[in-house]
Structure 1
Amino acid sequence: MSDSPRFRIFIIGAGFSVHAGLPLGEQLFEFVRQSVNRKYGSENKLERDLDWYLKYRERCDHISCDAPVDYEKFMSYLDLEHYLGLRGSDTWSDEGNESQLLIRNGIQEVIYSRTPSTPTDECIRFCEQLRPQDIVLTFNYDTLIEDTLDFLEKPYRLFPSRLKEVGISSSIVDSEAEADEICISKLHGSIDWYDKIPFLKDREHASQYEYPWESRHPVFKDGTAVLSSPLIDGLSHEDDPLRYVYRVDDLSQLTKAQFWQCSPLILSPSSSKILYANPLKSLWRGLQQAGGLNFGLGVVGYSLPPYDEYARQALYHLMRNYTEFEYDLEMMGLTKGPARILDYSPPGSSDWKIRRNYSFMNWERTELNTSGLNEKSIDWLMQ
């Protein structure tokens, strides 16, 4: 297969990772609770906050405490409590309250412990067919795609653009340096990413005391054995928060880290997650204008849930741009094909939920495949 650019965009959701044994939704949170209980005992802060939330839900919405828990609403409850400082002086930290940090560290542990040691056949099939200058927008926390690209020795970057000159109002992109790369944009963060800003604030605060306390942050403290590197390789804008995000080389070094020492940069699966998106904002910049000049658009396992309104708004424009802006465009021998959505519906079931969530699509220029991730469906997606 030719390795010449096709300038495609792929949107990846949690359904992409199911084949590798990674849990979804409620199952993920149950595993997180189990992980937290093993590490801190059953009388931990997360369980106490969950009990408090269930009482709140019962008294406000008349929902029995024994009814199934909507974990996204629970985490949204925690997000709002922390973001608005409702606890006052009991607010734990700028990064989150105790339960929020327990959840993020629990997600990291669950996903890392279940990530295959070698790439799956499906991931290899997908990544083998990625071409230079393809863009993968993923909402997943896991490292399946990066691990597979490393295994295949295919170059990629995890930030929007390489810059060869940074200006006050505009910058110059180093197109030559990007020519052979695939761009992976992890819109909800990653289990191996850490934000250095809270550490720097802690050090500044400590320096104001006669006897400054030492940092216990396993990634950034002086003399740490944990290897990490800035996510952005090269020049960046001074006001870009992504320049302070670091990627840890080996997560096994952090398996014993405590929640109060550090927390991975991931947006928890909450309907209010956008409140914590500032470190990742540059990954979202310009998405509303994307798609029109691309020559392929694929979606894998992303259900576009209604509560992710911010994601819907961004992808609405991107996907409409693809199907409506110069759909008959021909350039460099390339033409657009139909947008392709790959998901899974059990045999005999209806695909109406997928079509409802993507009701804004031009379905005359969109194809849907509900067979799930397999070699045949991957080939169909990437063609």
Structure 2
Amino acid sequence: MKPDSEAALADAIKSAKGPLAIHGGGTLGHAVEGAPLSTAGLSGISLYEPGALTLVAAAGTPISQIAKALAAEGQRLAFEPMDHRGLLGTEGEPTLGGVIAANVSGPRRIQGGAARDYALGVRFVDGAGNIIKNGGRVMKNVTGYDLVKLMCGAHGTLGVLTEVALKVLPVPETQSTLMLRGLDDARAVAAMSAALASPFEVTGAAHCAKVLEGGAVTLLRIEGFEASVSYRIERLKSLLKDVGAEMQVADAEMSSWVWESVRDATQMADLDGDIWRVSCKASDAPALAARSGAAGWYFDWGGGRIWIRTREGTDLRASLGSYDGHATLIRASRDTKAKLPTFQPEAHGIARLTAGLRARFDPRGLLNPGLMGPVTREVA
């Protein structure tokens, strides 16, 4: 099914006799049992006010279309959403609804916030076919603010997004990246932590084994006016002069390419094995990576996000044991995903809360059932 209006989408959900597999562009590769229900027919930018830094678009609008409209006005999506197609081998186009539903956020999250932090308002259809509007077009309108956040990262299990209002930001004049070569994981995390704690407004901090030739490289991005970027890069060099690394500076063009590679996990795209994304405390990252037994990894968000490549079928959660964070299975065979859940199983108390939310918004258990947890129609 590919409804071409919000009303048609609501009718499709109301009349559904069984589970629905919700998707936008299909680039995230989730395999959910149910009749396919696409939001791609709901497309187009309905409002764009560059002076107010506000854009409203239908959920099925391709991110590329939004990026083009913003670029014409010197603006961008500040949360730098990942494009999963290279890593997952999927086709189609990433859509606004898919990005918001999955809270897809790239390297800039460490400084600027996640996708959910830029969502001002949403329209969606719940599992009973009700059309719900929540939030507004300006940040000060906080009516239903928590519900807007709730839809970000729910992966379509609480409702099907039909429209999203976003805050956008200007594109900085330039960017540059300080590259530190030769650091091990522990020293790299220490260097990234020092840079992020500095007043120099680092907008990206990653440690990658093979993003460039010549061994491990630690990346620190600075954005803004050209004179300010040059000044802050030099101050970062001074701050980190004792870490024992060879330092190089990437210009704007190279910096943009490097961070696109970090954002899209390009270095892992053509390699065999399963791909996991681990969220943790930055200080825990070196030890977690070491005990993962993985074939390879790299750090983003200053160490707070680890991309890990394991042998096919490996239960990474069992290898990592107990820690403050969670692991998401991003790429694996259908057989592996049948054995290992995509998302970290929730603690009992959290599971009861999420089951209650799903029972409230999707009482029939129709929307992407089983994707984020057991289907629950009643809560004791």
Range class of TM-score, shorter chain = under 0.3
Between Structure 1 and Structure 2, the one with more strand by share is: 2
**TM-score, scaled relative to structure 2:** 0.25
**TM-score, scaled relative to structure 1:** 0.25
Between Structure 1 and Structure 2, the one with more helix by share is: 1
